[in-house]
Structure 1
Amino acid sequence: MASDPLYKPDSASERAGPESAPPTRANRLRGLSETPAFYLIYLVFYFTPWFFQLPGLRDALIGFAAVGSFIPVYLYANAGDPYRNGVKPVRTLMAAGYASALSLALIPVVGMSGNFHIYAVTLLAGLRPQRVALLAMAGLSAFYLCASWLLGVTIFEMVLSQFIAVMAGMATLAGFESAQRVSVRERNLRMEAELAALRERERIAQDLHDLLGHTLTTIAVKSELAARLLDADADRARSEIIEIRDAARITLKDVRAAVAGMHVTTLHQELARARSALSAADIGLRVEGEPPDLDQAAHAALGLALREAVTNIIRHSGAEAALIRFAPEGVLVIEDDGQGGELNAGTGLMGMRRRIESLGGEMEIESRDTGVRVTLSLPPPQPDTESLESHP
């Protein structure tokens, strides 16, 4: 939970984080048991025959030397958290080969030499892909059984060592498979979280662009109009200033809602804003038809697309007149008589297209010498879809 950037700890102990709390003995033991070094404890089984037959000085020195030399080789092969990051094949093969050689070389010495064969098999269980590990384990086991039989090892000791090696190897194999699944799941969760954060940033950026781009353009146009009217028509200038104030307040509210993910608009609201903005810019507007009865998502998508199109008309077209036509079947056409020409697909146009296409619709832009026509079409609503008009 503490790794979530949105998490806000409520208490001082939570703010301190889990790292500040002293680890308990159980946690320390659990953490130790999950490291490869923990499994070196099983080397003590090499010395179990000494309880029944005391070794000579030579055998004791050889046994201690074998165990002591194997420990750094084993740790070197398992360096870097192999369960999470995977084993290093060259190191693993080297360590397994050394363990296998010890298991055969120590047969004449008093001690459980087959213990090293068990380590060799479990080391090979970490190889990937899994079939490579299984083949290596099977090959080494066959070699060990044949070599042990030729060197005069008793059947009981061979079978016991091989049985434990198979059990330990399969358990290690399952552990690696489980760790790999956990690693993949964690990686997928991280990717999903990153994608969700990216989508949220894109949504906020697009909403802010749609909101602020249109409103700031309207405020700029109305401010210029109010400045021109101050001497000629003070009442009209005062009215424009009041509209600027109201637009700023509404936009502040919309920005807060957009950041919170609750911004909703409709075609009716955006049509009213379009009339006011185009009028302040001295651009005539003709509206044909009525906004269709659509669900909330479609209303919001078409409304924001209308806002962006009107903003572009005011900013870039140099038009004298604009047309907004509501055609049947959820088709909206926005047209102007401006300069047209080549269009550059900026953030606004890409956002328009993304919103419409996310609902299964299409957007077409036709730029001519006599102006630009934007056609937005949405698929017909599903029979069980609730319209925005039926639930105000």
Structure 2
Amino acid sequence: MASEPTCKPDKASAGAASRDGRPKWTGRVRGLSESPAFYLIYLVFYFTPWFFQLPGLRDALISFAAVGSFIPVYLYANAGDPYRNGVKPHRILLAAGYASFLSLALIPVVGMSGNFHIFAITLLAGLRPQRTALLAMAGASAFYLCASWLLDVTIFEMVLSQFIAVMAGMATLAGYESAARVSTRERNLRMEAELAALRERERIAQDLHDLLGHTLTTIAVKSELAARLLDADASRAKTEIIEIRDAARITLKDVRAAVAGMHVTTVHQELARARSALAAAEIRLSVEGEPPELDQAAHSTLGLALREAVTNIIRHSGARNARIRFAPEGALIIEDDGCGGELHAGTGLDGMRRRIESLGGEMAIESRESGVRVTLSLPPAKPGQQSLEQVS
């Protein structure tokens, strides 16, 4: 039985293309062209006069010795990654000075000695700041032209070498400036990424603080209440234990949502939680007024701030009564009749202030001898924005 023909791609052709559709060798060539060692290939132009006039043994030995000695000096000057890390000025001046010396010392020898002048100019283009590089290039060019004129270098070689040196030097300057811009852009991108990661960590930390601080306080208070009621009122103790279980489950869900950046709450939800938590702590709560019309972000921010304020009342105030009042002008006022006194701002209060101020609102805390009053105010919803009630 004849088998169906199968077409297997040739290994060479399969590996010749990169993922973006371009041949892989183009990437290797590009990487090679960005290496300073790549430009040593232009030393071959020194030997172009040999096609028209064969050198003697002495000239050939001198030429090979000059080229061979220049290569390590050039590589030393460009050690590392000069386009990204820069090069040390003393290395540049050493290599450029040696190249200029060779461009003049080799004039009596058969070869295009002006080729070394081109290398000298491109090396000086690596000096920083750019003004220093331009002055050094201009000075080296003037010196080369004057010395070549005095040493009877042909006009053609002198002008050609100087023209190529200027073009190559300006291209090198542009390359350094482009590399500097790329390096700055990459550094800015890294900083932006680090700041974004830091902001995300702060957001998660603040959300977890708001979520866990309130819930764990509620669970602790309800656990103490259930323990006291276990013998006296088993039915109510059971109810408190069920509420503890439900609170733990809801908090677990909220923690997952907060880590994913999707945690949303409302003032109405936080009012219900406040009633339950304050009742378990045997603190009487009175609520006056109705929540204002706010967009979803403002509702969530005000709800989390309310949660933090209620948590602080349960933990620190020692109050017997608490009041939550929605003022007609849109402010939310939370106050208690606890111990008051001097307040020390912590993570919770700082987080509340940041949340409120991020939406253009204000937070004021007044500590009295008979309690603390927290006033939270947010700007009203803009006409173009829908309130949470309208959305639902």
Q: SS of 1:376's equivalent?
A: strand
Task: Return the alpha-carbon distance in structure 2 between the equivalents of residues 173 and 59 of structure 1.
Answer: 34
Q: What is the CA distance between 1:249 and its match in structure 2?
A: 1.0
Superposed CA deviations along residues 229-281 of structure 1, whole A, max 9, x for unmatched, are 11111111111111111111111111111111110000000011011101100
Task: Return the alpha-carbon distance in structure 2 between the equivalents of residues 372 and 292 of structure 1.
Answer: 23
Q: Which residue of 2 aligns with 1:303?
A: 303
How many pairs align?
371
Q: Which residue of 2 aligns with 1:245?
A: 245
Q: Which residue of 1 aligns with 2:320?
A: 320
Task: Return the alpha-carbon distance in structure 2 between the equivalents of residues 360 and 139 of structure 1.
Answer: 60
Q: Which residue of 1 aligns with 2:132?
A: 132
Q: Which residue of 2 aligns with 1:265?
A: 265
Q: SS of 1:87's equivalent?
A: coil
Could you tell which deviates more after superposition, 251-260 or 326-335?
326-335
Seen in structure 2, the aligned counterparts of structure 1 residues 139 and 295 have a Cα distance that, compared at 3 Å, is: same
Q: SS of 2:391's equivalent?
A: coil
One-letter amino acid of the structure 2 residue matched with residue 130 of structure 1: Q
Q: What is the CA distance between 1:110 and its match in structure 2?
A: 1.0
Q: What is the CA distance between 1:24 and its match in structure 2?
A: 4.9
User: In the alignment, does 2:84 pair up with 1:110?
Assistant: no
Superposed CA deviations along residues 308-346 of structure 1, whole A, max 9, x for unmatched, are 111111111111111111113331111111112222221
Q: Which residue of 2 aligns with 1:377?
A: 377
Q: What is the CA distance between 1:29 and its match in structure 2?
A: 3.0
Task: Return the alpha-carbon distance in structure 2 between the equivalents of residues 333 and 152 of structure 1.
Answer: 94
User: In the alignment, does 2:179 pair up with 1:179?
Assistant: yes
User: In the alignment, does 2:156 pair up with 1:156?
Assistant: yes
Whether contact under 8 Å (1:121, 1:169) holds in the other structure is yes
Q: What is the CA distance between 1:381 and its match in structure 2?
A: 2.3
User: In the alignment, does 2:255 pair up with 1:255?
Assistant: yes
Superposed CA deviations along residues 30-51 of structure 1, whole A, max 9, x for unmatched, are 3222110111111111111112
Q: Which residue of 1 aligns with 2:8?
A: none
Task: Return the alpha-carbon distance in structure 2 between the equivalents of residues 80 and 32 of structure 1.
Answer: 14
Q: Which residue of 1 aligns with 2:349?
A: 349
The 5-angstrom pairing of residues 1-392 of structure 1 reads: 24-392=24-392
One-letter amino acid of the structure 1 residue matched with residue 280 of structure 2: A
Whether contact under 8 Å (2:267, 2:291) holds in the other structure is yes
Task: Return the alpha-carbon distance in structure 2 between the equivalents of residues 76 and 377 of structure 1.
Answer: 66
TM-score by length of 1: 0.92
Whether contact under 8 Å (2:365, 2:375) holds in the other structure is yes
Q: SS of 2:366's equivalent?
A: strand
Task: Return the alpha-carbon distance in structure 2 between the equivalents of residues 288 and 204 of structure 1.
Answer: 32
Superposed CA deviations along residues 151-173 of structure 1, whole A, max 9, x for unmatched, are 11111111100111111111111
Task: Return the alpha-carbon distance in structure 2 between the equivalents of residues 130 and 389 of structure 1.
Answer: 62
Whether contact under 8 Å (1:329, 1:380) holds in the other structure is no
Whether contact under 8 Å (2:293, 2:380) holds in the other structure is no
Whether contact under 8 Å (1:49, 1:112) holds in the other structure is yes
One-letter amino acid of the structure 1 residue matched with residue 372 of structure 2: V
Task: Return the alpha-carbon distance in structure 1 between the equivalents of residues 364 and 221 of structure 2.
Answer: 28
Q: SS of 1:390's equivalent?
A: helix
Question: Which structure 2 residue ranges, 5 or more long, are not aligned?
Answer: 1-17
One-letter amino acid of the structure 2 residue matched with residue 291 of structure 1: P
Task: Return the alpha-carbon distance in structure 2 between the equivalents of residues 341 and 91 of structure 1.
Answer: 68
Whether contact under 8 Å (2:293, 2:381) holds in the other structure is no
Q: What is the CA distance between 1:195 and its match in structure 2?
A: 0.9
Could you tell which deviates more after superposition, 203-212 or 99-108?
99-108
Q: SS of 2:389's equivalent?
A: coil
Q: SS of 1:294's equivalent?
A: coil
Aligned-residue CA RMSD (Å):
1.5
Task: Return the alpha-carbon distance in structure 2 between the equivalents of residues 374 and 282 of structure 1.
Answer: 21
Q: What is the CA distance between 1:128 and its match in structure 2?
A: 2.0
Q: Percent identity, please.
A: 87
Q: SS of 1:389's equivalent?
A: helix
Seen in structure 2, the aligned counterparts of structure 1 residues 328 and 144 have a Cα distance that, compared at 3 Å, is: farther
Question: Which structure 1 residue ranges, 5 or more long, are not aligned?
Answer: 1-17
Could you tell which deviates more after superposition, 329-338 or 311-320?
329-338
Q: What is the CA distance between 1:26 and its match in structure 2?
A: 4.1
Q: SS of 2:390's equivalent?
A: coil
Could you tell which deviates more after superposition, 55-64 or 252-261?
55-64
Q: Which residue of 2 aligns with 1:10?
A: none
